[in-house]
Amino acid sequence: MTGRGRPHKAKSPDTKCAKGKTRPEEVKQVPPPRCPGKSFTEEKQNGTIKEQKPKVQKKTSHTEDKPSVQRTRKVEATENFTEISKQQSTTTDHIKAPVQHVKAKKCVGKAKSLEKVSEEMTKVQPEATKEATKASVKTTKAKTSDCKTKPPGKITETKTQPETPKDTTNADSILYTTLEKLKIKRDERSDAAEVINKIVKCIIAHLKQNTICFKEVGEPLRTGSYYENLKISNPDEFDVMLPMPVDRVNINPFGENGAFYSVELKRGKSPLQKFQETSILSASKMLEEFREEVKKCVKPFEEWAVERKKRGCPAVTLITEVQSVTISLDIVLSIMVKSSWPLFTKDGIKIEDWLGTKVKQGFKRMPYYLVPKYEGKGTVENEGVLAKDVWRVSFSHVEKAILKNHGSEKTCCETGGARCCRKDCLKLLKHLLSLLKKKDSSFDKFCSYHAKTTLLHACCSRTKDTDWPASNLSQCFRLLLKDFVTYLEGGVLNNFFIPTQNLLSGPDQKKCNNLARRIREECDTGFPIFK
């Protein structure tokens, strides 16, 4: 309960706008760009050719599950496990079937409750489950390379123990099917990457050549889910941070949670000096000018539109359309600080047991970033500093590095190493959250960063790769859900890097409870929402 009721909310990831990504429905409503997503040169060559590419079916198209149905299912959830084993043989084969049509939800009732999952996990732990689930998974997903160690077990023999895979198998199928659906098509990715990279390059060139204050812009940091290989469904959201190097700065916490700071440039001449009104570097002024420059640069590209400024949002959001899919690109202004991380991070990133102390030290030697983000009213003053002029710490480069190198063993997920399901679990959680958000607008304040943070914490408590075997997706995912539900019900989810910041201080407890309840329902009924 500790963090509850803190004055400062912090619901969205540092580089992200409070609204932008946290509200999928808004993204959809973005004003249609004038021209279908190609810049001049290609417009000619491609405009006609690629037209007929299959549209990505909106994954939500047939998610018409009724709450009442779920309620009744709950009863079945406690149903016997032997039944499941019978079904297992029938269900495994349709797992193979690639995506699209999902079979009728015959096997829904077999889901287990969150509590059950955790009990099982703790007593079973890797071996038993691994071997058992392997049997079923092997037939379905050949890519799990850790199948080699053991022969497929005979699942039907393992009797009524709850940890037998039988009951997870049905859930597995829907999860694998869902993951399959969430994959990004190569062509779409390719088209989007081309368009995105072109404009990013152009913006950087513009800043270097035509501005003084942003001339020193550094290498773009490609952050966010697309670049972490965690983007689901469509390659339609891109985040690029443009870092302005600074020599030395003084930072002072703004508010109590340690996420926001006022910034003073120390000695020496910096092109950023012009943004210092008093001694502090005005985030609002700097962002304003940055925004103008980006607009100037993008203007000639008629296929790109600049989204309206959103309060407190550090990004200039650009919108375009590629193959009639709307794509948004967040260009995020940031300051790169090379000195040691803020004190508030001292008890954060507890990755020692998971990734090791050396890895952690490596991260802590990296710079950190500040982005012009604030919450609430910009005119709120605190020790002579206006909220709109403060900066928020960002560790998205570290998040990316962690996600990329996420195993306790170096070989995790490499060819020849064991495959884990950490990222798959996160994808599923993100997807689940976004589907729930679509159905209930009161979940607006929950965002994918909550999911990501939950996973990071989970990795720190279940540290070994054997805690996350790819063959055990269903149970791992359910455990992750259990974590999330626990955070929601407690109203506390600490920022992974700044533990004093409660990411759930935004939404009130009632909303947290509602979301927790919805997640439980989904879990107990075999995720009808995915169907």
Figure out which of the listed residues 197, 252, 276, 466 binds DNA, where binding follows CB under 7 A. 197
Closest contact distance (angstroms) between CB of 191 and DNA is 8
Among 423, 445, 452, 482, binds DNA (CB under 7 A): 423
Closest C-alpha to 399, from 218, 219, 223: 223
CA distances from 70 to 64, 152, 521, 524 (A): 12, 33, 7, 8
What gap in Å lies between CA 378 and CA 392, rounded to an integer?
14
Q: Using CA atoms, how far apart are residues 90 and 106, in angstroms rounded to an integer?
A: 11
Minimal distance in Å, beta carbon 98 to DNA? 9
Q: Which of 100, 415, 441, 510 binds DNA (CB under 7 A)?
A: 415
| Beta carbon of residue 430, minimum distance to DNA (angstroms, whole number) | 13
Of the candidate spans 46-54, 128-136, 320-328, 410-418, the one that interacts with DNA by CB under 7 A turns out to be 410-418
- Closest distance of CB 521 from DNA, Å: 28
Q: Which is nearer to DNA, 185 or 350 (CB)?
A: 185
Structure tokens at 320: 């375009």
Q: Is 229 in the site for DNA (CB under 7 A)?
A: yes
The yes or no reply on residue 329 touching DNA (CB under 7 A) is no
Judged by CB under 7 A, how many residues of this single chain contact DNA?
A: 23
Nearest residue to 251 (alpha-carbon basis) of 156, 386, 370, 150:
370
Interface residue with DNA among 128, 227, 250, 464 (CB under 7 A) is: 227
Q: Which is nearer to DNA, 196 or 480 (CB)?
A: 196
Tokens 């990504």 identify what position?
Answer: 21
Among 474, 466, 471, smallest CA distance to 428 is for 474
The CB-side HSE value for 525 (13 A sphere, CA atoms) comes to: 23
CB nearer to DNA: pick between 107 and 204: 204
Calpha distance 213→211 (Å, rounded): 6
Stretch that binds DNA, among 87-95, 193-201, 284-292, 504-512 (CB under 7 A): 193-201
The separation between the first and the last C-alpha atoms of the chain, rounded to the nearest angstrom, is 35
Using CB under 7 A as the binding rule, the residues of this chain from 448 to 487 that contact DNA are none
Stretch 159-188 residues interacting with DNA (CB under 7 A): 183-187
What gap in Å lies between CA 255 and CA 393, rounded to an integer?
13
Examine residue 413 and tell whether it contacts DNA (CB under 7 A). yes
Choosing from 51, 142, 357, 442, the residue that interacts with DNA (CB under 7 A) is 142
Asked if 72 touches DNA (CB under 7 A), the answer is no
Neighbours of 419 (CB within 10 A): 21
Taking the least distance from each CB to DNA, the nearer of 34 and 248 is: 248
The answer to the question of residue 194 lying near DNA (CB under 7 A) is yes
One residue of 108, 111, 132, 196 binding DNA per CB under 7 A: 196
- Rg (C-alpha) for the chain, rounded Å, is 24
State the nearest-atom distance from the C-beta of 420 to DNA, in Å: 10
**Distance in angstroms (rounded) separating the CA atoms of residues 515 and 436:** 8
Cβ distance to DNA smaller for residue 218 or 490:
218
Rule CB under 7 A: say whether 510 interacts with DNA.
no
Task: Count CB atoms within 10 A of the CB of residue 369.
Answer: 25
Q: How far is the CB of 406 from DNA (least distance, A)?
A: 9
Q: Could you give the CA distance from residue 127 to residue 281 in angstroms, rounded to a whole number? A: 55
Q: How far apart are CA 163 and CA 159, in angstroms?
A: 10
Contact window for DNA (CB under 7 A) among 190-198, 372-380, 440-448, 511-519: 190-198
The reply on whether position 409 binds DNA by CB under 7 A is no
Give helix 473-490 / helix 166-182 axis angle, nearest 10°. Answer: 80
57 belongs to the binding site for DNA (CB under 7 A): no
Question: How far apart are alpha carbons 449 and 325 in whole angstroms?
Answer: 24
Alpha-carbon distance of 38 to 369, in angstroms, equals 32
- The yes or no reply on residue 189 touching DNA (CB under 7 A) is yes
Binding to DNA by residue 190, rule CB under 7 A? Answer: yes
41 is a contact residue toward DNA (CB under 7 A): no
**Residue 155: closest CA among 176, 133, 177:** 133
Q: Which is nearer to DNA, 152 or 376 (CB)?
A: 152
We find the least distance from the C-beta atom of residue 205 to DNA, in angstroms, to be: 7
Round to whole Å and give the CA distance between 200 and 238.
11
Interface residue with DNA among 45, 414, 442, 461 (CB under 7 A) is 414
Residue with tokens 């930072």: 251
Residues at the contact surface with DNA, assessed by CB under 7 A: 142, 183-187, 189-190, 193-194, 196-197, 205, 208, 222, 227, 229, 400, 404, 413-415, 423
